[in-house]
Chain A
Amino acid sequence: MAVDDLSLEIAAGEFLTLLGASGSGKTTTLRMIAGFEQPSAGEIRMGGSSISGLPPFKRDINTVFQHYALFPHMSVRENIGYGLRMRSVPKAEREERVRLALEMVKLGELGARAPRQLSGGQQQRVALARALVNRPRVLLLDEPLGALDLKLRKEMQLELKHLQTHLGITFIYVTHDQEEALTMSDRIVLLRQGRIAQFGTARDLYDRPASRYVADFIGETNLMAGVVVDGGPGPVTLQVGSERLRGRSDVALPPGSAAWLSVRPEAVRVDLGGTGSPEQNAIEGTVSDAVYSGALIRVHVSLPDDRRIIAQVPAGTTVQVGGRARVSWAPERARCVTD
């Protein structure tokens, strides 16, 4: 089953992302909204009325396909004008709208070209223009930036976001790239095996993950397995190996149950000298790796009980592999999550 028991309410004019690994059901959900797949149970409503029974060509929704699906035997202009033609928009108006759409995606002079004469990035813009020219109420985007190289992708991410804000159309965006989701979305639906793992704003998912899966999927984090001693809600204490560590949880956790502490690398303080008074929430360890990545050095610290933590320090810091390090963090920045 690709999608299992999914219920969503999407606000008008928002940029919503369906995020998930492959097989999570995000594309299937998108296709159900577009009308290419039929839900076996349930309903899809838009603006109060049900569209479940309507074929794709009767829905006020347009799609930007993953590999663009441009019609190879038509020019760029003809591609863009296709939907307008099918809706019998008069020729003069159609030509004007196509012209405006071309300008909007900055492809003004390429109207007469054939799709195969364009670069990947240009084809992507044509696909976008082809959808937007119809002024749909909802625009669906199926991983449209996947085929572009990194720099172009980042540019397009911003452009799409600006476009959406400017046009005010509801965008439903599918991607497996969580960074992309965090950058562009008003809200994110993280899907896992056909079900919703979490639904909220980018900040919600990043700062307050609802489960271990979410914490692990979004951004980078250190996960430490332990047993609940004091379960909150609010401050919690976990028995992690031989340590007692503190964190926060929004829900109450039964003492004795298994849980995880999620601490993001940027929240981990690394004390490389080994000096300083022992704090709470601190563990002694050894530096096993120091990986340079431009602005930061990512420090891998191996801890007792075969555990590891990744922290980061500014690039100028002297880090000695094999040296002692003490890692610690503020309790409010450690989230306690369960599976």
Chain B
Amino acid sequence: MTRRPPDRLTAFLWATGLGVFAFIYLPLVVVIVYAFHDSPIIAWPLRLGTTKWFVALAHDRGMIDAALASLKLALLTVMMSLLVGVPGAFVLDRFVFPGKAAFRRLVLLPLILPGIITGVALLTFFSFVGLSLSSGFPLVPGWPVVLGHAAAFSSVVITQVFARLQRLDRAQEEASQDLYANEWQTFWQVTFPSIRTAVLGAALLVFTLSLDEIAVTFFLIGRQNTLPLQIWGLLRRGITPEVNAASTVIFGISVAVIVIWARLMREEPQG
């Protein structure tokens, strides 16, 4: 197709689009750039050229502990939400039972509702049940926050795996049984390889989301802060470039994880 000469409408479209793109990235760029700002006060003008804040970050005990707590929480959350979510997706896909429609809606709620509602709901639950917010410390950052994350993010796993299951060719499972594999063998030999990327993708997503989670975590956290909460605490007292340095690191890790996730999603077998 021959290219038509660019016209005003298309030019306007491109200008707007690029403008929006810049708008989306501006604050991030600001944060990253100011992580190298040579002054303890975040102000204009910018004086680039130091990495001392990253060094300070590496020695900040509070931050490091918070980062470790976040990591622990994220890993536990991934494990638990997979254990619940993958069978949950199968239940939604294969079974018919009374209340299934309600279950389906319920599963979506944490994804759709503002996090604060889920947070206070879980808080009232654990308070009612009598589970202390610091229970399990220091092994886990606190059982309520672990269970809360697992519950909220099992929705992510269920929706992702369910979507993949729906696209699965059921005839393959029948073929497997036709060829003498029982239900369990069929699952491992045929079904699981087909949903493997969806499961992995969901795991990565849950990992990132858990690391970044604030609303629910705020209400359920015990003695030990997670990284976002730690940063928030520092923010109350005014922003330091060290916080920017931490954010830059987080940004780098998140991007890496998302890129891996996108690669995974594209590689999955079609059909």
A residues with a Cβ closer than 8 A to B are: 34-36, 55-58, 61-63, 65-67, 69-73, 82-83, 86-87, 116, 130-131, 134
Mask for B84-126, Cβ within 8 A of A = 1, else 0? Answer: 0000000000000000000000000000000000000000000
**Alpha-carbon separation in the docked complex, A65 to B194 (Å):** 19
* Contact of B179 with A86 in the complex, beta carbons under 8 Å: yes
* Contact of A57 with B180 in the complex, beta carbons under 8 Å: yes
* Given A69-B169, A72-B269, A73-B269, A86 contacting B174 (CB threshold 8 A): no
CB proximity to A under 8 Å, residues B153-191? 169, 171-172, 174-182, 185, 189-190
* Contact of B178 with A87 in the complex, beta carbons under 8 Å: no
* Contact of A83 with B179 in the complex, beta carbons under 8 Å: yes
Partner of B171, one of A56, A58, A66: A66
* Contact of B178 with A73 in the complex, beta carbons under 8 Å: no
Chain A residues with CB below 8 A from B177, complex form: 35-36, 55-57
* Contact of B180 with A36 in the complex, beta carbons under 8 Å: no
**Alpha-carbon separation in the docked complex, A131 to B177 (Å):** 12
**Alpha-carbon separation in the docked complex, A58 to B177 (Å):** 9
Shortest beta-carbon distance from A133 to chain B in Å = 9
* Contact of A55 with B182 in the complex, beta carbons under 8 Å: yes
* Main DSSP-derived SS at the B contact region: helix
Chain A residues with CB below 8 A from B269, complex form: 72-73, 116
Asked if B193 is at the interface of the complex by the 8 Å CB criterion, the answer is: yes
Chain B residues with CB below 8 A from A116, complex form: 269
* Contact of B175 with A65 in the complex, beta carbons under 8 Å: yes
* Given A72-B269, A73-B194, A86-B180, A56 contacting B174 (CB threshold 8 A): yes
* Given A63-B175, A65-B174, A83 contacting B180 (CB threshold 8 A): yes
* Contact of A71 with B174 in the complex, beta carbons under 8 Å: no
Chain B residues with CB below 8 A from A69, complex form: 169, 171-172, 174-175
* Contact of B179 with A67 in the complex, beta carbons under 8 Å: no
Select from chain A the residue with minimum beta-carbon distance to B179.
Answer: A83
B residues with a Cβ closer than 8 A to A are: 169, 171-172, 174-182, 185, 189-190, 193-194, 269, 271
* Given A67-B169, A73-B193, A57 contacting B175 (CB threshold 8 A): no
Partner of B178, one of A34, A66, A71, A72: A34
Select from chain A the residue with minimum beta-carbon distance to B178.
Answer: A63
* Contact of B178 with A57 in the complex, beta carbons under 8 Å: yes
* Given A72-B269, A72-B271, A73-B269, A57 contacting B182 (CB threshold 8 A): yes
**Alpha-carbon separation in the docked complex, A105 to B190 (Å):** 24
Shortest beta-carbon distance from B193 to chain A in Å = 4
**Alpha-carbon separation in the docked complex, A61 to B178 (Å):** 7
Shortest beta-carbon distance from B257 to chain A in Å = 25
Shortest beta-carbon distance from A62 to chain B in Å = 6
Chain B residues with CB below 8 A from A72, complex form: 194, 269, 271
Select from chain A the residue with minimum beta-carbon distance to B182.
Answer: A57
Select from chain A the residue with minimum beta-carbon distance to B175.
Answer: A69
**Alpha-carbon separation in the docked complex, A96 to B185 (Å):** 24
**Alpha-carbon separation in the docked complex, A62 to B174 (Å):** 11
Partner of A82, one of B179, B193, B194: B179
**Alpha-carbon separation in the docked complex, A134 to B194 (Å):** 25
**Alpha-carbon separation in the docked complex, A55 to B176 (Å):** 12
Chain A residues with CB below 8 A from B174, complex form: 34, 36, 56, 63, 65, 69
Partner of A57, one of B171, B181, B271: B181
Closest 6 CB pairs of A and B: A83-B179, A69-B171, A86-B180, A69-B175, A56-B177, A73-B193
Chain A residues with CB below 8 A from B172, complex form: 69-71
**Alpha-carbon separation in the docked complex, A87 to B180 (Å):** 7
**Alpha-carbon separation in the docked complex, A58 to B185 (Å):** 13
Chain B residues with CB below 8 A from A130, complex form: 175, 179
- Besides A62-B178, A67-B171, 13 more A-B contacts (Cβ < 8 Å) are A34-B178, A35-B178, A57-B178, A63-B178, A65-B175, A69-B171, A70-B175, A71-B190, A82-B176, A82-B189, A83-B178, A83-B179, A131-B178
**Alpha-carbon separation in the docked complex, A65 to B175 (Å):** 7
**Alpha-carbon separation in the docked complex, A61 to B177 (Å):** 11
Select from chain A the residue with minimum beta-carbon distance to B193.
Answer: A73
Chain B residues with CB below 8 A from A57, complex form: 177-182
Shortest beta-carbon distance from B85 to chain A in Å = 22
Chain B residues with CB below 8 A from A131, complex form: 178-179
Shortest beta-carbon distance from B184 to chain A in Å = 11
Select from chain B the residue with minimum beta-carbon distance to A62.
Answer: B178
**Alpha-carbon separation in the docked complex, A131 to B194 (Å):** 22
Shortest beta-carbon distance from B29 to chain A in Å = 42
* Contact of A62 with B171 in the complex, beta carbons under 8 Å: no
Chain B residues with CB below 8 A from A66, complex form: 171
Chain B residues with CB below 8 A from A86, complex form: 179-181, 185
**Alpha-carbon separation in the docked complex, A82 to B180 (Å):** 9
A/B interface sample: 9 pairs, CB < 8 A? A56-B174, A62-B179, A67-B171, A70-B172, A71-B172, A71-B176, A71-B189, A86-B179, A87-B180
